[in-house]
Structure 1
Amino acid sequence: MIIICPECGRGISSFADSCPNCGLPRSMFFKAANQRSINNMEFVDLGLPSGTLWATKNVGAKSPYDKGMYFAWADSEVKEDYTWENYKYFLGFHIAESNKVPRLSKYTGHIRLGIVDNISFMEPCDDPASVYNDMSSMTPSYEQFKELFENCKMSREYTKGVNGIQLVGPNGNKLFLIATGYITGTKILKEKCPVFWHNRCNSYGYDNAGCFSTTDFADNYCTFSPERCCGVPIRPVRR
């Protein structure tokens, strides 16, 4: 598996004892990622109807061509293994209809999933975009992502050694979305596509949350709902 060094942003083997590029020891990978303060986020106006400003890079990234950090939904701690057992609000499993079902302490809408609070939108205290930047930044909503993809021209692009999607807004300004995939356990899926959390859980129970991505051919956007414990990048918007 390839992981991202939090110091230099290079992809390295998960079996490496240290980063061959900058020398950061493996034991410091996740400590460095969790301690990094991102206070130089830049935003671009694409001329969208709502006036929403989009960050030019992912949370934790040093540039638009760096994948940045991966987060479980509403959990600002970077993980080595993206499983329920490592999730911030995980209470344990119970068996329902012969299936292991996670019990959660927050963001639940059904008693079978734990403590019911009927909160389905990510709160600022749990939002990595706010935690690592400032409270004026946030994980985008479903509606903001939909507006972005439906109002911008989209094309696949390979630049500076990385694959991604180039979006051109109504006013001609551009936004590059690096291909990131997402992580379940330690495995990266959809590696050739940009994948981002939005700020809302799914509509039933809330053990899954929403992502925006693109099709493999980069000719359209798509949505899906992985388990909340999966590791997914975040592209902030400005409040």
Structure 2
Amino acid sequence: MNRLHTLILLLVLIWPFNSRSQDLVVLDCRPTADPMLVSMQRTDANNDICALVRVLLPVGGVKFSGNTVGDVSFDGSEYRVYLTSGTKFLQISCPGHYPLRIDFRDYGINALEGKRIYELKLKAQSFVQPQAADPGANYLILNVQPAQGVSVKVDGTSQIVDGGTVSVYLKYGRHTYHVESDGYAPEEGTVEIGPTGKTVKEVRLQSVMATLTVSPETPGCAVYVNDRFKGTGTWGGQLPAGLYRVEARKDGHRPQTVTIELSQRDSRTVTIPALSPVYGIINVNYRPVGATVAIDGMEAGTTPDIFRNVTVGRHTVTVSKPGYQSRQEQVTVGENQTATVSGELVAQAVQQQAAPVAVSTTGNTINGHEYVDLGLSVKWAACNVGASSIEDSGNYYAWGETATKAEYTQANSKTYGKTKGDISGNPQYDAARANWGGTWRLPTKAEFDELVNKCKWEWTTQGGKKGYRVIGPSGNSIFLPAAGWRSGSSLYDADTRGYYWSSTPDGSTDAVFDLLFFSGYRSTYWIRRFSGFPVRPVSE
């Protein structure tokens, strides 16, 4: 009797479930001609591309088993199931329905092929899934431009703007938004929030900025707007409406200022009159008489002499004469003032000249470029960047730039007037690293000083080009051609002077240290960044 009662109880428990279960109906199963794009592909454990079965069934909660690979995705009407190549069966479990086992051979498909898309269309019998309670709210997404410096309010409440996007959860109904940013016309409006999906609104504020172009009559001026540096030479940009103080500045000149008031959507051009040079005097009273005087690397006369019409500011005065040690002094010239440089050159000791040391190739290379070990802290390249031989001048670069150009001016300099640290090894600014790669880089001022102070320098001619043979403590040598320098579109001082960039700024925003040499003289000193100089790389 107990067994009978147990059987009856089991039938009572099972019967309601069976009465609710239905059969899934296969409407169609076929391969498609759709291509499987790379973005759609998935690979199995053997790195073989899987087959994709698109299961058309608008019922949630369906489970798949068999040779499936990875997660199954569902978009509300279609499941995407990835299976290994060669699969013949697929087990499907759908809520409220009996499990269904698909044998692809029943539909003329011997086995699934990798990298191919199949379509399996199923019909579920009437089955009502339990519905979640409606929350009565949905998302509003505002995509705003400009993305930065913008203020957004929804229903009067300020919102967080993340990369130009605002996301806020709102109750069903009508809501207001307000978007504003300096220099733009504000925009406001209303949106409807409902149960059919999140609401996405694109908001593009219209600029009311004014356009200002500043054109100084004096070339190479630095342009400042409300005391903020904007650029060198002619500058143009957008500004909010308002009153502005526009100024042109240049070393050794008296600045000029213009005040202008801009309205919304104005387009104005301001021409700043030519700046007036401001002069001082340098008195060079060095012995012996007749020594050569160079101011900022340019020969100015011989000692003793008074040099008038020198623009105010800092200058480098170099005094040199064959048979004497050269002297270099920094002076600051004030308006209508005289800066005096005086002293006496020290005679060089007479030394017996050794036989010339030939400059030859070493065969040692770094990243395909030959180097010479002079016995110093770094290895020196055997030739300049862009040179075809050791005596070739190679390419000319403005400081902090990695490509040559037709003209070298203050106006087209990419670093003049900008604060920069030491650029050695930075491929964005270092012409040696950018063009030669590897560990090649610009020398620092300290490394040039080491070259000047620890090596023997012989003015000579190599391959028809004048320059210095520099002999290191190791006895090896390099040749530095007197390649001159470029300004504007012209080449100056070729075969008489050498100028080579270091990586070290002098602490200002307009000058850096370089190596300067000519017959009887070599040293490091500061010079403006926009000239075109050769580059001699170094490496550890």
Q: Give the TM interval when normalised to the shorter protein.
A: 0.5 to 0.7
Q: Deviations over 1:63-84 (max 9, x none)?
A: 1111000000010120111012
Q: What SS does the aligned partner of 2:372 have?
A: strand
Q: What SS does the aligned partner of 1:43 have?
A: strand
2:389 matches 1:63: yes
Name 2:472's counterpart in structure 1: 169
What is the Cα deviation at residue 220 of structure 1? Answer: 3.5
2:377 matches 1:42: no
- Are residues 85 and 39 of structure 1, via their aligned partners in 2, closer, same or farther at CA, if it must alter by over 3 Å? farther
2:532 matches 1:231: yes
Computed over aligned residues only, the root mean square deviation of the Cα atoms, in angstroms, reads: 1.9
How many Å separate the matches in 2 of 1:176 and 1:146?
17
Paired AA for residue 65 in structure 1: E
Paired AA for residue 372 in structure 2: V
Name 2:450's counterpart in structure 1: 147
| Count of residue pairs the alignment pairs up | 172
2:436 matches 1:133: yes
Q: Is the 8 A contact 1:39 1:132 kept in 2?
A: no
How many Å separate the matches in 1 of 2:527 and 2:486?
10
How many Å separate the matches in 1 of 2:478 and 2:523?
18
Q: What SS does the aligned partner of 2:451 have?
A: helix
Provide TM-score, normalisation by structure 1: 0.67
Greater per-residue helix proportion: 1
From 496, 507, 513, the equivalent of 1:203 is 507
How many Å separate the matches in 2 of 1:39 and 1:69?
19
Name 2:497's counterpart in structure 1: 193
Paired AA for residue 474 in structure 2: N
Q: What SS does the aligned partner of 2:411 have?
A: helix
Name 1:82's counterpart in structure 2: 408
Q: Is the 8 A contact 1:80 1:186 kept in 2?
A: yes
Larger Rg: 2
**Runs of 4+ residues deviating >6 angstroms:** none
Flag structure 2 segments of 5+ consecutive residues without an equivalent.
1-365
How many Å separate the matches in 2 of 1:190 and 1:172?
30
Name 1:9's counterpart in structure 2: none
Paired AA for residue 148 in structure 1: L
From 454, 465, 485, the equivalent of 1:182 is 485
What is the Cα deviation at residue 135 of structure 1? Answer: 3.8
How many Å separate the matches in 2 of 1:220 and 1:82?
26
1:19-38 map, 5 Å: none
Q: Is the 8 A contact 2:402 2:428 kept in 1?
A: no
Paired AA for residue 446 in structure 2: E
How many Å separate the matches in 2 of 1:69 and 1:231?
9
What is the Cα deviation at residue 39 of structure 1? Answer: 5.7
Q: Is the 8 A contact 1:68 1:233 kept in 2?
A: yes
Q: Is the 8 A contact 1:72 1:232 kept in 2?
A: yes
Q: Is the 8 A contact 2:458 2:470 kept in 1?
A: yes
Provide TM-score, normalisation by structure 2: 0.31
% same residue: 33
Name 2:248's counterpart in structure 1: none
Flag structure 1 segments of 5+ consecutive residues without an equivalent.
1-37, 90-101, 109-118
Greater per-residue strand proportion: 2
What is the Cα deviation at residue 203 of structure 1? Answer: 2.0
How many Å separate the matches in 1 of 2:404 and 2:439?
22
What is the Cα deviation at residue 87 of structure 1? Answer: 2.1
How many Å separate the matches in 2 of 1:80 and 1:224?
26
